[in-house]
Amino acid sequence: MTTACYDGQNFFSATHPVIDEDGVSGSVSNYTSGAQTPWYLLVSNRGIKPVVWSVRKEEPFKQLTPAELVDRNKKIEYGCYVDAGIGYGFWQLAYLSKADLTADNYFTARSAIMNFYSDQGRKLGLIPDLLVVPPSLERKARKIVVSDLTTAGETNELAGTAEVLVSPWLS
């Protein structure tokens, strides 16, 4: 996502400006660069979401083809009209990683979100709960946050820390 959010930085950026408890300006990252398939860790259990979808007007799903053409063409088209908008919520509610999806990298992203703070150093108290991946990363994601055991047969300490959402529109 290369569109600026409220702080002037891209939504996913390594340099979101913040002011710590001592009044010193610094930066915080919600992004890990790399060459691997991207995956996202989100906080979706808050009133505001990382990405906001707002429907202003919605018509019901209906037949679009005039009835007299249905018999002639043997085709019925359906659809609806939606007037909606999409925008960013708070960047602190999302983390993008282009590093390999491993337990260590997942834990790093999770820790980053849980350590985010607002200006003047106030902890935000965020706990990520949704791991969004493309189909190619589904198996890795489920091994990290769903499986009770690791591949080595040990107890998986990260099991249950997030739900997995697989999106075919990601690659």
Size (the chain), residues: 171
Q: Are residues 31 and 73 in the same domain?
A: no
Whether residue 73 is found in the same domain as residue 141: no
Q: Are residues 100 and 123 in the same domain?
A: yes
* Distance (Å, whole) CA 144 – CA 141: 5
pTM for the whole structure? 0.84
Residue 42 located in a structural domain:
yes
For residue 158, being part of any structural domain is answered with yes
In a domain, 4, yes or no: no
Q: Are residues 160 and 126 in the same domain?
A: yes
The total number of structural domains in the chain stands at: 2
pLDDT of residue 87: 87
Q: With 0-12 CB in 10 A as exposed, 13-18 as middle and 19+ as buried, what is 31?
A: buried
**Is residue 107 in a domain?**
yes
* Residues 6 or more apart in contact with residue 93 via CB below 8 angstroms: 42, 43, 44, 46, 48, 49, 50, 113, 126
94 lies in the same domain as 137:
yes
| Residue 9 falls inside a structural domain | no
Q: Specify whether 94 is located in the same domain as 149.
A: yes
Q: Is residue 104 part of a domain?
A: yes
Q: Which tokens is 11 given?
A: 């939504």
Which residue bears the tokens 């107890």?
155
Structural domain of 79? 51-88
In a structure prediction context, what are the per-residue pLDDT tens digits for the chain, which is 171 residues long? 567 888 999 999 999 999 988 889 999 999 999 999 999 999 999 988 998 888 888 788 777 666 666 666 677 777 777 888 888 899 999 999 999 999 999 999 999 999 999 888 889 999 999 999 999 999 999 999 999 998 888 999 999 999 999 999 998
Extract the runs of DSSP E, i.e. beta strands, from 39-110. Answer: 39-42, 51-58, 62-63, 78-79, 82-88, 94-97
Tell whether 5 is covered by a domain: no
Contact 99, 40 (CB under 8 A): no
The answer to whether 122 and 134 are in contact (CB under 8 A) is no
Is residue 97 assigned to a domain?
yes
